Structure 1
Amino acid sequence: MQKMEDWSAREIAARVAQREVSAEAVARAFVERVQALEPGVGAWQHFDAARVIAQAQAVDSAGAQGPLAGVPIAVKDLIDTADMPTTYGSPIYAGHRPSVDAAVVASVREAGGVVMGKTVTTEFATFKPGVTRNPRASAEAPRTPGGSSSGSAAAVACGMVPLAFGTQTAASVIRPAAYCGVIGYKPTFGLLPMAGIKSLSPTLDTAGVFARSVDDAAFFVSTLSRIELALNPVKAWRVGICHTPHWELASDDARRALQVAARHFDKLGARVVEAVVPGAWVGLAQAQMDIMGFEAWAAFAPERRSQAGLFSPAFAEVLASGAAVSGERLAAAHALAIHARGEIESLLQQVDVLIAPSATGEAPPGLDATGNPIFSRMWSLLGVPCVHVPTGVGSHGMPVGVTVIGPRWRDAKALSAALALEAAVRG
């Protein structure tokens, strides 16, 4: 019989609502898994088992109300929680306790979800890694889980939670999902509210989620956004293979993953074609970096003035790079982004979805860096919905997969294609 901790989020919510199982029993099962696995993974910045059980008991006492009733959910430590510390991955905020929950956390509680704790983030969602190890790698040969949503991806990957929040400014949902072999869903920019989430770059920051299945990811975001994300068959759809302007950086493993995805779509009855992107898109990654850096310099003015000595060298470099972006460069970056957003709308009228590499390859060895974000930068800049789907393993036995990209505000298209691919891969 399947263990409770292996149920989908949708199944947990349904069983708790029907009183087949209590939210407390579910919480205790997941707490036990966290306690068993956490020493070897390091996914959690803050975890309080007693608080988790108390939340679940409150859900039961209230009659198991809400679409997420009893579902354990992890929250990235970039996202404010009023009942536990939020450190943003920095010693500057050690012990910091926000006065209110972030909007997405408040929505989870309102829907009956159980907040399991805070997962490790890189420093201010940039490049200095935390302590999290990729649970797909061996203890003897550790590999990065990716970043910045390191703990959330790792927690879902080893079954500590069925759902977790992440955020993405460059590649912080898609890349960790790729490295850890889970579903990562970055919605259309603006679909989920950013209130109460530490800002790095306001015109790029996007709340996203990790899940063990595409259906759970859609269920979660649909509940939070109040937008029905109906998933439909993809037979006769047009699927565009997008190598992106950075194809030369894709490893053999990444290239094979894209080929595998294309073959699956072909067998599903979709028409698979090459999607040729405009030559100017080669500048989108740099445009994303320029906008992110410029906005980060401004956003962190308070910390720069009083606590700059506690920045890591990596974060100090992010801010220094941003300070060097001139007004002319910033304007050019935004102009390119605006133009490219129009171009991708046109491209996604010729095909239903695009598929592209999620990362350069398998998770790199070691824990000193979080990998190259190059393959997600332009999608973050364009604000389109992206779903990472694992397609297998690479030459070193680590997960690989692809990103499915859909039109802005048509997230259900990207999710539908991702669901079809996921089902085909799983057989």
Structure 2
Amino acid sequence: MPASLFVTSYYHALIVHLWIADLTMICAIRICELQTMNKNLLAVALAVTFSSSTFAGGILLHEVATFDSVSSAGVGNSSNRTDASAAITSPAGLTAIDDNSFAIGVQYLDAYTEHNGKGPADNNLSTSGKTRSFVPSLAYAQRVNDSWVLGASLHGDGGLGMEYDEGLVGGGIVDSISQEALNLQLAAGYQANDKLSLGGAVVIQHLMTSFETGNATNIDASGNSTALSFMLSAMYDLSESTYLSANYKHRVKHDSADIDVSVNGSDITPIEQDLTWPSRFDLGLQHKISDELTFKAMTGVEFWSQFDDAANNVYSLGTALAYSQNDWTYQGGIRYDSKMYDTDKMTPALPIGANWSLGLGAEKERSNGHRIGIAYQYRNMGTQDVTYTGPTDTIPYFTGSVDTNRIHVLSVSYAY
């Protein structure tokens, strides 16, 4: 499976799971063991690595491949009732659709991270990880009567795909890691009264995992799993110019996911693991200041601490401003996310600290009401000094810094 970075509408998140972090750490500090280990011992070691019941560690990318989502740095997702893309972000917003709606978009993602430091023998270590990929999204919605609107979407809910030039921390071994989630959502919005809208979605998630090492021992691991979950949503109009929104997306638990592993081209016993995609909750606000100016705000939390004692819940806060004149809308937004792991608990596969995102874009409305948008977003995932130590060691195998850690996102969208 090619390394690619998925977000929510083929994107919402970068996520690396605990088994990947553990396995790559073992590779970094046990090079000789991996080069000489026989297949039976390796199978046991990998089984221990993949046995975690948590899906812990990562970032969820904010953006859906729409003008509103990318240009607002994901702030607009919580209160989205613009078009069919609400089936992804906020199903209650589907009730704003008069007849039918279609939204399609594609994002170009460019992610890059760089480590520089020293090994246990005071040797210089340096490496970089990167990925470049195109990530599409698709949604459609149809009003069925005065109260109900139904919708469907296909998108990515998160994931990580990175290729490394010198392994995770400069010691070689790891060539690439990838874990991606693809979601099919069947959504509905219900107009309860003039002020209150309710919504929900059935989430069908397909999880794809791969891991590849080089050097003297070639390890290839890959697996697929499908699981069900749900999403709940509500919107309430405080006035003609102001409304609130709330969205809850339940965790997705993949029970007994099989990971197929081969060593130097020979298959070993598949590894079985339970994986969990975390729950998240957000609140949104939109206020129309004037006919031209709209203010948006959001706050939210991703519940990572439920699944890993070392992880923190990730809290988000963001704001955006949209300006409309004639047939054009211009928007900019900024968002902050707290750190998932404290610095002393970070892993080389996931050196993500407190991070911030900045988005901007423009959208043109045609005479038939169809809209074409382009947007850009920059995400800084944190640069910090790090020290990585093996689970049973006292001497660090890497001491240094994460000097670059960012994502560029460019999107083009079409909707009505």
TM-score of the superposed pair, with normalisation by structure 2: 0.24
More helix by share: 1
More strand by share: 2
**Bigger Rg over Cα:** 2
TM-score of the superposed pair, with normalisation by structure 1: 0.24
